Amino acid sequence: MARKKIALIGAGNIGGTLAHIAAQKELGDIVLFDVVDGVPQGKALDLSQCGPVEGFDAKITGTNDYADIAGADVIIVTAGVPRKPGMSRDDLLGINLKVMKAVGEGIKAHAPDAFVICITNPLDAMVWALREFSGLPHEKVVGMAGVLDSARFSTFLAQEFGVSIRDVNTFVLGGHGDTMVPVVQYSTVNGIPVPDLVKMGLSTQEKIDAIVTRTRGGGGEIVGLLKTGSAFYAPAASGIAMAEAYLNDQKRILPVAAYVSGEYGVDGLYVGVPAVIGAGGVEKIVEIELDEEAKGNLQVSVDAVKELLVACKGIDESLA
What is the size of the binding site for ligand APR (CB under 6 A)?
29
Q: Is 100 in the site for ligand APR (CB under 6 A)?
A: no
Beta strands in 218-297 (DSSP E): 252-261, 267-278, 281-285
| 298 lines the binding site for ligand APR (CB under 6 A) | no
Closer CB to ligand APR, 9 or 157, in the complex = 9
Closer residue to ligand APR, CB minimum distance, 79 or 172? 79
Residue type, 113: D
**3 state SS of 264:** helix
Question: How crowded is residue 20: how many other Cβ atoms within 10 Å of its Cβ?
Answer: 21
**Alpha-carbon distance 320 to 308, whole Å?**
13
Q: Is 15 one of the annotated binding-site residues?
A: yes
Q: Establish whether 176 is a catalytic residue.
A: yes
CB burial of residue 22 (10 Å; 0-12, 13-18, 19+): buried
Of residues 53 through 82, those in contact with ligand APR by CB under 6 A are 78-82
The DSSP code sequence of 115-143 is: EEEE-PSSHHHHHHHHHHHH---GGGEEE
Quick one: 7 or 245, whose CB is closer to ligand APR? 7
170 closest CA partner among 191, 156, 154: 154
Asked if residue 134 binds ligand APR (CB under 6 A), the reply is: no
Tell me which of 187, 230, 238, 301 binds ligand APR, using CB under 6 A.
230
> Is residue 128 within the footprint of ligand APR (CB under 6 A)?
no
Please pick, from the candidates 4, 48, 115, 121, the single residue that binds ligand APR as defined by CB under 6 A: 121
Q: Which of 74, 277, 252, 256 is nearest to 147 (CA)?
A: 256
Among 4, 6, 8, 12, binds ligand APR (CB under 6 A): 12
H/E stretch holding 223 = helix 218-226
| Annotated binding-site residue numbers | 10-15, 34, 83, 89, 96, 119-121, 152
Catalytic residues: 176
| Annotated binding-site residue numbers for NAD(+) | 10-15, 34, 96, 119-121
Binding region for ligand APR (CB under 6 A): 9-15, 34-36, 39, 78-83, 92, 96, 99, 102-103, 119-121, 229-230, 232, 235
